[in-house]
Amino acid sequence: MKKQLTRQQHLDLYYYMRLNRAAEDTMVKLFRQNKIVGGLYSSLGQEAISVGTAYALEKKDWLAPMIRNIGALLVKGVPPRDIFMQHMAKYDSPTQGKDGTSHFGDLENLHIVSPISMLGDLIPVMAGVAIAGRYLGQKIVAMTWIGDGGSSTGVFHEGLNFAATQKAPFVLILENNLWAYSTPVRRQVPLENLADRAKAYGVASYVVDGNDVAEVYSTAKEAVDRARAGEGPILIEAKTFRRLGHAQHDPAEYVPKEMRAYWEARDPIERHEKFLMSEKLLDANGKKDIEEKINTLLAKEREFAENSPMPPPELAEKGVYCTGDACHKIAAKWERPLAEVMPPKSSVEPVWMVEGYGKGKGASGANAPIHFGDTPADKAADESKPASRAIPKTSVKKLAKAAAPKPAASRKARR
């Protein structure tokens, strides 16, 4: 997979991973200086997932990050100063100081949906965004992330099933970093691959080395292309490791030292750097140039963030609720003729195909076919017939009559 990428793509992935880590290192310093007012959640060792997956999206596509996906925001075009100011609750932040963590988005320009603290809830939301984009003719793909622990929430399963039944152009990245706070993945899920959970809903899935950024990107690009082509949602399980605690307050002493050492030796940035050097795609001078570029950028962005004022008290009561056009323009952006979604073009024949309905064995071990309406029971029981059939065109009254419960006497006679 790696050699399918261009030199510029490899260098872009390397740059964004380095920027991701350096930006988080800057925020750790701000946190220790009591300049960050909210929580700080590290993605140390997981940068390849955020960067590689977001890099596979087009500008028109939508994403919804979680707390460890700062890399995805940087790839999408969010300047580091916005991330700094957001965590510092500054007036010039995207939420004007109303939030002290990563809860911000950009619906108008960058197509970013704000994170939702209730894990899993972004899945049905982004499935809905994907469906809306298809309805409007925008040909977009929506993407979000979930952790191994979050994949055990009910809304994960509800949302994935919803996306599957609607064939939403949606890509879900499942970051298996081995720990749901302090609970190891083996104590929460009896599966080798969490991607197997997608099978229950007929969703295609991949399992990828989450510490190999080129492999992550190549896999995500294939998934995005498939979703855009109409193949429905796709899940990617990226196997990685959370090298720090849940947040700054968590020393993660529950993690075995041997496990930490194993994964630290597989640092995604160091791995990609060694590959670039071995393939003559990067040399010492090129590495130095990238480091200087990042350091200069972050110094400027940090200075701007620190000089931004705190929000005035009277701002607290403003912008709490959206007031329509006074808040922001709410209007559908159609990219297809409206006639396509209006009668008569939107009308369909009232014929229902029931694929495989009734196929299988009953408790006695015999075939258990089922029949509908005008289809005789003996005909349905014929095992030589296909398991799927179309329900004949019939009136609503006739269908209702066929499905209605039989009189008690009739039921007794059939026993």
pLDDT (mean) for 302-321: 92
Model confidence band, residue 7 (pLDDT cutoffs 50, 70, 90): very high
If one compares 251 and 125, the residue with the highest pLDDT of the two is: 125
248-262, 288-302, 367-381, range with the lowest pLDDT: 367-381
What distance in Å separates the CA atoms of residue 289 and residue 135, rounded to the nearest whole number? 45
pLDDT at 398: 52
Q: Dig out the tokens for 322 from the structure.
A: 């959206």
Average pLDDT over residues 170-183: 95
CATH topology of domain 7-317: Rossmann fold (3.40.50)
pLDDT in the model for residue 347? 83
Distance CA 386, CA 143 (A): 38
Tell me the pLDDT band of 320, cut-offs 50, 70 and 90.
confident
User: 29-52: per-residue pLDDT in tens?
Assistant: 999 999 999 889 999 999 999 999
Q: What is the pLDDT of residue 1?
A: 42
Amino acid 168 reads: A
In tens, the pLDDT along 103-152 reads: 999 998 999 999 999 999 999 999 999 999 999 999 999 999 999 999 99
- The predicted pLDDT at position 395 comes to 47
pTM: 0.83
pLDDT bin (cut points 50, 70, 90) of residue 345 is confident
What pLDDT was estimated at residue 77?
Answer: 97
364 pLDDT exceeds 70?
no
The pLDDT of residue 38 is 83
Confidence band (pLDDT; 50, 70, 90) for 406?
Answer: low
Query: Mind spelling out the 3-state secondary structure of the chain?
Result: CHHHCCHHHHHHHHHHHHHHHHHHHHHHHHHHCCCCCCCCCCCCCCHHHHHHHHCCCCCCCEEECCCCCHHHHHHHCCCHHHHHHHHHCCCCCCCCCCCCCCCCCECCCCCECCCCCCCCCHHHHHHHHHHHHHHCCCCCCEEEEEECCHHHCHHHHHHHHHHHHCCCCEEEEEEECCEECCEEHHHCCCCCCHHHHHHHHCCEEEEEECCCHHHHHHHHHHHHHHHHCCCCCEEEEEECCCCCCCCCCCCCCCCCHHHHHHHHCCCHHHHHHHHHHHCCCCCHHHHHHHHHHHHHHHHHHHHHHHHCCCCCHHHHHCCCCCCHHHCCCCCCCCCCCHHHHCCCCCCCCCCCEECCCCCCECCCCCECCCCCCCCCHHHHCCCCCCCCEECCCCCHHHHHHHHCCCCHHHHHHHC
Give the span between the Cα atoms of 55 and 70, in whole angstroms. Answer: 13
Q: What's the CA gap between 277 and 120, in Å, rounded? A: 39
pLDDT at 248: 86
pLDDT at 376 over 80: no
pLDDT for residue 233 is more than 50: yes
Amino acid 329: pLDDT: 78
If pLDDT is split at 50, 70 and 90, which confidence band does 388 have? very low
Least confident of 114-123, 237-246, 365-374: 365-374
> Percent of the chain, pLDDT > 70?
83
- Report pLDDT for 192: 92
Q: Tell whether the model's pLDDT for residue 247 goes beyond 50.
A: yes
12 or 370, greater pLDDT:
12
Domain extents for the chain? Answer: 7-317
For residue 328, the model assigns a pLDDT of: 76
Of 1-15, 341-355, 400-414, the one with minimum mean pLDDT is 400-414
pLDDT of residue 415: 37
Flag whether pLDDT at 411 surpasses 50.
Answer: no
Give how far the C-alpha of residue 375 lies from the chain's centroid of Cα atoms, to the nearest Å: 44
The number of beta carbons lying within 10 Å of the beta carbon of residue 322 is: 10
